[in-house]
């Protein structure tokens, strides 16, 4: 066999993010080696950088969960159909999306098995055996797994996948108050993770009854705004009340010796948030990965000619070794490509920080550090290399988050009238905050006439209901709602 | 609603492990809260202790993998049928066990999707795109996930499950030598994990062609011996040669500018090893969990009456707080049960070390530490509590491993003749080492006449082939083989 390399020339991103977001996103997926399409529509391969980012999110979230007393468990991925059917709203919500196992080998199964779209039903059947007394409560379990939902006709990697990785927290309490008190604890954890790791901004609030989770009594979410002006739901928290408890007979003997139904919550963050991260930070050169979730935080690129190759390479290796204990660092010592080629390649892949070292740096005892987010160059003395790198990585993180926040704020508008709401949605997109009476008819009408749903009702804008009138019907307002077109 | 607690009396293990191993194992599963049956036959719920043990194994294995340069990735759980069909031996091996997704919602799929029984086929389709040049090699990826195999008609929790959690390493090399050199690195990691975490003994060796992995050129395994004399396969390593490379067209341009097929390996450790751990260490009182994988390493049981309750409890809490930074410790301050009830309960659950603290200990400035493995009691002065606990936990680990090793050695026999082989297998069970000519006909005949398979050919017994004659046909021996009945 003889042949040529499959990849000879460098393929960068060829469209502008702001001119054609959809094509830009597709190129990011196919060219940056973060994730990749597979032969399964809606099923992704997470390549090393992509899976590292998810592991970083998972590790940080898991540690915060554990600090609050949450314990990890694992439940089967296949769920018997009769279990799935136990809670009416839940099954109606999920049935159209379920992947059904009907055969094993050549045999037809007596009962179909659902590949888990979510695990309430299989978990709560066990919970009904495990919860006995008030002493067993609260029981706060979580699992990390992957789920299948055949939800989208045209999947988009990460943002609208048919398989995604997530956590699913499933907690059980003796009282409504205890269950409800968990909400802010969990939403605060998700806010920290999105801010301090993914460096993305979001709006925390309550979902409307129409948009809440199938089977929940109330849902809460963090909603993210993408560059194309569409909103996508990030982490979510659902208060289930006693709905599943009654469907699955989860009861306990309380201190007063009465048998009572438990109260339950569920909550999740998924790999969809990696899609939000990519869409938020990426630019016309490629990915920009926030430092705390980057598999490679610093790439070192030696710049040499035939004469000084050995001395430059030796110094580059010394720098690599020095940084290696504190940072995730990679020395690109590939002789086959020019420094310029490498600059482009690592910018495409989104590595947050690049160190350039050549003859000039050898002499001056400095290196050049180039930020991926701004392109700014800094000269750093070798004797404060580690401190300098740490500062730059933090600055990059903070800058990415600040930009994301600024974008969210700049694209959050206010409308007092329905005409205004319509006009802003048409001309500018993004989020439009407006008063709402709480009536589903108005919610439906706005959707019908503008294409915008209520993404959520932001916590920090509530309590002013009586000040205004519903943007659609003009009756007294109950909530300030965020209207937006969404994924 | 009024009612009584669902669980009033204490349910210990009611059969002897050595008298009825199968019933004992079932009681261990249902009574110790390590794992639990679910409504899915062959699908388990991993409860907090069980999942913690798996996380500990996973964390330790993952760290050792990373030290050798292995990188984590993730691939879709659903595999299109046409991909599964690409490697002939592989598909023939797995097809009878595959769970098939045929419908999503109410729609029939155009092509069936397999719930992954293993991920070669979905991964290698991507590998064929990703591997281009010798510079991309070696490419050493791993994923942690769960797989479905409808393999066993009568599943046994952990040991013969239809779903199990595992790692699957899938590595790619430019040369046969590089690929083969990885074998001992990986098997050594698995030996360390089984010895230093699960505290179980095993026999490392090569599988016969008949017993090797479907699609591999050669398979290697660590085989474990259960208390009932049956052998079960633990971690495994498979050298695939170029079989999958040819089926999936995974090629690279080598330094000599020739296009060549890659060489590949795969390797795995699964939750089956938790079953081996349970079966090995458990006793007539319940589970015995090795300290390094125990979610709770030390349970503190205060012994008090109405007068001294507060002072004993305060001291117990002080001890808990003191130990908490170094150990995983739990203070059982439940007033509803007697110390004796608690002793039984925590022994049933297999917590490695118990601390008793009462009036006497308050006065003497000591605690009583009771080992789960031996029942031995030690008095430990409070001023060397942490050191003392660390020593005891290490001693427990070492003792568990030593017992496991002793059991393996005591039940490994040698047979020079077929009559002897038959007699030992019938009378004593366990492993019988004997010479083998390497011919599958002899392997088949022994299986037919004794029920024993060749579990593997232990590395440390090879090189003596020419000394002996095949235990069945009497021709010149090529290998020393381990014959045993197996799960």
Residue B152: per-residue pLDDT: 81
Report the 10 Å Cβ neighbour count for B33.
Answer: 17
- Chain A interface test: which of B3, B78, B140 (most A C-beta within 10 Å): B78
Q: Which among A38, A122, A145 is the nearest to B38, CB-wise?
A: A122
Helix (H) or strand (E) holding B168, with range, is strand B163-173
Cβ–Cβ under 8 Å, residues A318 and A255: no
Residue of B nearest to A1 (CA): B259
Share of chain A above pLDDT 70, in %: 98
Q: Please indicate whether, in this complex, the C-beta atoms of A105 and B150 are within 8 angstroms of each other.
A: yes
The predicted-structure confidence for B10-47, as pLDDT tens digits, reads as follows 789 999 999 999 999 999 999 999 999 999 988 999 99
Q: Please indicate whether, in this complex, the C-beta atoms of A146 and B77 are within 8 angstroms of each other.
A: yes
Please list every residue in chain A whose beta carbon sits closer than 8 Å to the beta carbon of residue B10: none
The predicted-structure confidence for B272-293, as pLDDT tens digits, reads as follows 999 999 999 999 999 999 999 9
DSSP states of A229-288: S-EEEEEEEEEEETHHHHHHT-EEE-TTSBEEE-EEEEEE-BTHHHHHHHHHH-BTTB--
**Three-state secondary-structure class, residue B48:** helix
pLDDT band at A15 (very low <50, low <70, confident <90, very high): very high
- Asked if residue A95 has pLDDT above 90, the reply is no
The predicted-structure confidence for A233-279, as pLDDT tens digits, reads as follows 999 999 999 999 999 999 999 999 999 999 999 999 999 999 999 99
* Region B467-474 average pLDDT: 92
Question: Which pair of structure tokens corresponds to residue B394?
Answer: 């290490």
The predicted-structure confidence for B323-352, as pLDDT tens digits, reads as follows 999 999 999 999 989 999 999 999 999 999
* Widest distance between CA atoms in chain B: 86
Q: Please indicate whether, in this complex, the C-beta atoms of A48 and B336 are within 8 angstroms of each other.
A: no
Q: The domain A21-77+120-281 is classified under which CATH number: 3.40.1210.10, 3.30.930.10, 3.90.230.10, 3.90.25.10?
A: 3.30.930.10
State the smallest CA–CA distance between residue B213 and chain A in angstroms.
18
Nearest partner of A274 among A290, A259, A261, judged by Cα: A290
pLDDT band at B5 (very low <50, low <70, confident <90, very high): very low
B296-395: what CATH class? alpha beta
- The model's pTM is 0.96
Q: Of A79-88, A309-318, B29-38, give the lowest mean pLDDT range.
A: A79-88
Provide the mean pLDDT of chain B: 95
- Asked if residue A8 has pLDDT above 60, the reply is no
Say if strands B44-46 and B35-37 run parallel, antiparallel, or are unpaired: antiparallel
pLDDT band at B6 (very low <50, low <70, confident <90, very high): very low
Counted across chains A and B, CB pairs separated by less than 8 A come out at 198
Q: Please indicate whether, in this complex, the C-beta atoms of B75 and A45 are within 8 angstroms of each other.
A: yes
- Asked if residue A464 has pLDDT above 90, the reply is no
**Three-state secondary-structure class, residue A5:** coil
pLDDT band at A140 (very low <50, low <70, confident <90, very high): very high
- Asked if residue B465 has pLDDT above 90, the reply is no
Residue B245: per-residue pLDDT: 97
Q: In this structure, what are the phi and psi dihedrals at residue A415, rounded to the nearest 5 degrees?
A: -130, 135
Residue of B nearest to A42 (CA): B76
Residue of A nearest to B8 (CA): A132
Q: Please indicate whether, in this complex, the C-beta atoms of A38 and B125 are within 8 angstroms of each other.
A: yes
User: What's the topology of domain A296-408?
Assistant: Rossmann fold (3.40.50)
Distance CA A43, CA A86 (A): 29
Distance CA A317, CA A315 (A): 5
ipTM of the complex: 0.96
* Region B428-439 average pLDDT: 95
Provide the mean pLDDT of chain A: 95
pLDDT band at B77 (very low <50, low <70, confident <90, very high): very high
Residue of B nearest to A250 (CA): B6
Dihedral angle sign, alpha carbons of residues B344, B348, B349, B352: positive
Which class for A405: exposed (0-12), middle (13-18), buried (19 or more C-beta within 10 A)?
middle
The predicted-structure confidence for B62-76, as pLDDT tens digits, reads as follows 999 999 999 999 999
State the smallest CA–CA distance between residue A149 and chain B in angstroms.
9
Residue B2: per-residue pLDDT: 38
Please list every residue in chain B whose beta carbon sits closer than 8 Å to the beta carbon of residue A149: none
Please list every residue in chain A whose beta carbon sits closer than 8 Å to the beta carbon of residue B3: 251, 253, 258-259
Domain B412-484 bears CATH identifier 3.30.1340.10 = no
State the smallest CA–CA distance between residue B65 and chain A in angstroms.
14
Locus of tokens 């899938």: B170
State the smallest CA–CA distance between residue A247 and chain B in angstroms.
16
Total length of chain B: 487
Residue B466: per-residue pLDDT: 59
Question: Which pair of structure tokens corresponds to residue A349?
Answer: 């892949």
Residue B87: per-residue pLDDT: 85
Q: Say what angle helices B48-67 and B176-196 make with each other, to 10 degrees.
A: 140
Please state the domain extents for chain B: 21-281, 296-395, 412-484
Phi/psi class of residue A406: alpha, beta or left (left: φ > 0; alpha: ψ in -120 to 50)?
alpha
Distance CA B68, CA B119 (A): 22
The predicted-structure confidence for B151-160, as pLDDT tens digits, reads as follows 888 899 999 9
Question: Which pair of structure tokens corresponds to residue B324?
Answer: 């908490």
Residue A424: per-residue pLDDT: 96
CATH number of B21-281: 3.30.930.10
Residue of B nearest to A93 (CA): B105
Q: Which among A39, A46, A75 is the nearest to B73, CB-wise?
A: A46
pLDDT band at B300 (very low <50, low <70, confident <90, very high): very high
State the smallest CA–CA distance between residue B45 and chain A in angstroms.
5
* Region B466-485 average pLDDT: 92
- Chain B interface test: which of A65, A100, A157, A163 (most B C-beta within 10 Å): A100
Distance CA A138, CA A265 (A): 11
Q: Which among B40, B76, B165 is the nearest to A43, CB-wise?
A: B76
Q: Please indicate whether, in this complex, the C-beta atoms of A101 and B106 are within 8 angstroms of each other.
A: no
Cβ–Cβ under 8 Å, residues A484 and A203: no
Residue of A nearest to B162 (CA): A76
The predicted-structure confidence for B200-237, as pLDDT tens digits, reads as follows 999 999 999 999 998 899 999 999 999 999 999 999 99
DSSP states of B348-405: HHT-SEEEEE-HHHHHHTEEEEEETTT--EEEEEGGGHHHHHHHHHHHHHHHHHHHHH
Please list every residue in chain B whose beta carbon sits closer than 8 Å to the beta carbon of residue A49: none
**A165 - beta bridge partners?**
A146
Residue B91: per-residue pLDDT: 86
Distance CA B105, CA A97 (A): 5
């Amino acid at each position: 066999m003889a042949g040529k390399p499959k990849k000879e020339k460098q393929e960068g991103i060829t469209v502008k993010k702001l001119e054609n977001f959809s094509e830009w996103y597709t190129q990011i997926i196919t060219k940056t080696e973060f994730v990749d399409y597979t032969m399964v529509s809606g099923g992704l391969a997470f390549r090393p950088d992509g899976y590292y980012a998810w592991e970083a999110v998972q590790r940080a979230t898991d540690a915060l969960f554990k600090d609050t007393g949450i314990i990890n468990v694992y439940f089967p991925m296949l769920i018997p159909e009769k279990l799935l059917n136990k809670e009416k709203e839940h099954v109606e919500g999920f049935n159209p999306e379920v992947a059904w196992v009907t055969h094993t080998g050549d045999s037809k199964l007596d009962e179909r098995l659902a590949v888990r779209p979510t695990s309430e039903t299989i978990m709560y059947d066990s919970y009904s055996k495990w919860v006995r007394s008030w002493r067993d409560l609260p029981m706060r379990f979580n699992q990390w797994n992957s789920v299948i939902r055949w939800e989208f006709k045209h999947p988009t990697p990460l943002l609208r996948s048919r398989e995604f990785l997530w956590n699913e927290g499933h907690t059980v309490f003796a009282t409504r108050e205890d269950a409800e008190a968990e909400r802010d604890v969990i939403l605060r954890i998700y806010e920290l993770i999105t801010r301090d790791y993914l460096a993305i901004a979001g709006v925390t609030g309550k979902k409307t009854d129409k948009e809440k989770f199938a089977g929940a009594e109330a849902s809460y979410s963090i909603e993210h705004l993408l560059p194309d002006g569409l909103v996508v739901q990030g982490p979510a928290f659902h208060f289930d009340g006693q709905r599943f408890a009654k469907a699955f007979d989860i009861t306990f003997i309380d201190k007063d010796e009465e048998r009572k139904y438990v109260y339950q919550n569920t909550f999740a963050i998924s790999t969809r948030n990696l899609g939000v991260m990519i869409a938020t930070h990426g630019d016309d050169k490629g990915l920009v990965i926030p430092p705390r979730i980057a598999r490679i935080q610093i790439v070192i690129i030696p710049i040499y000619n035939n004469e000084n190759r050995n001395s430059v390479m030796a110094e580059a290796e010394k720098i690599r070794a020095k940084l290696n204990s504190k940072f995730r660092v990679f020395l690109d010592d590939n002789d086959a490509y020019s420094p310029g080629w490498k600059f482009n390649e690592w910018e495409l892949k989104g590595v947050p920080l690049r160190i350039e070292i050549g003859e000039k740096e050898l002499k001056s005892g400095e290196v050049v550090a180039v930020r991926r987010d701004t392109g700014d160059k800094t000269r750093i003395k070798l004797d404060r290399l580690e401190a300098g790198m740490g500062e730059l990585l933090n600055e990059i993180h903070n800058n990415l988050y600040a930009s994301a926040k600024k974008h969210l704020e700049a694209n959050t508008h206010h409308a007092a009238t329905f005409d205004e709401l319509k006009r802003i949605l048409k001309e500018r997109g993004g989020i439009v905050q407006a008063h709402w009476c709480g009536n589903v008819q108005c919610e439906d009408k706005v959707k019908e006439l503008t294409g915008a749903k209520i993404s959520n009702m932001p916590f920090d804008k509530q309590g002013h209901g009586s000040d205004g009138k519903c943007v659609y019907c003009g009756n007294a307002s109950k909530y300030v709602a965020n209207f937006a077109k969404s994924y």
